[in-house]
A = this chain, B = another copy of it.
Amino acid sequence: MRRHEYIQILDGTHPEHGRTIGLLHQGLIVASAAAISLETVPNLAPWAKSALATFEVFILAVFVVEYIARILCAPKPLAYIFSFWGIVDLLACLPALMFLSPQWAAIRSFRLLRLVRLLKLLHANRALMRLEAAMFQCRSELLVFAFMAALILYIAGVGIFIFEHEAQPEVFTSIPVSLWWAIVSFTTVGYGDMYPITPGGRIFTTGILFVGLGVIAVPTAIITTALINTDLRESIEKEIEEELEDIEREVRKDLAPLKRRPTRRPKT
């Protein structure tokens, strides 16, 4: 096996061993993310704590070994070290270097950068490429939508502050806080931490929410149209092309005897 094949294995793109090793590798990153999140649970049982600590050592060992392997196998080791992925891999290993120190918890979270690697697997994915193409195609529409949404949010925040500040000075304390209400309401999350209680504020909210419903429908419409544009148009184009080629062939076949005549005639 050649060097570049080792890298293919680590990247999960090797034709033979790639799939298995790749999946194991990705699984390890996911497990590592789960471990980081579990460690924050308060009052963990001692056995769980030590299990997580052991798993931590194991994960770090694997990452360090992988980092060294990648440097050794890279056609240009220095280029790899200073590449984007090289730095990500280094940051993921850093905790290992200061393992014994008690302050390493913060640095450990750099490991989360490895999650970016998961996106790598997707790069060859056809479905993602189609989604990306659609998103790229409608980027200016989405920008216009984001701009208009921001404007409506600002108007909603200022408006609700004017209506509700006097009635609930403890809740709608300032415009920035009212903007938070506007965001929570417009996205239809509605936590219930802030809501209008005056008739004026409620009528204003009704108007603004009705506009909001329309605005929220827009990105769905934009993305759908873009997806159909890349997807459906392609297939309709192909369909029409094929059909028209068929008819062209048929017409040409019908015309063939007519065309041959002029060339045959001189012979007679």
Contact = CB atoms under 8 A, between A and B. Distances in A.
One complex includes copies of this chain to the number of 4
A217 B225 contact: no
B235 A235 contact: no
B252 A254 contact: yes
A41 B223 contact: no
Interface of A: 33, 36-38, 40-42, 109, 112, 115, 118-119, 122, 125-128, 130-131, 134, 138, 140-147, 149, 151, 154-155, 157-158, 161, 165, 173-177, 179-180, 183-185, 187-193, 195, 197, 199, 202, 205-206, 209-210, 212-214, 216-229, 231-233, 235-237, 239-241, 243-244, 246-248, 250-252, 254-255, 257-259, 261-262
A164 to B, nearest CB: 12
A198 to B, nearest CB: 11
B206 A38 contact: no
Contacts of A224: 220-221, 224-225, 227-228
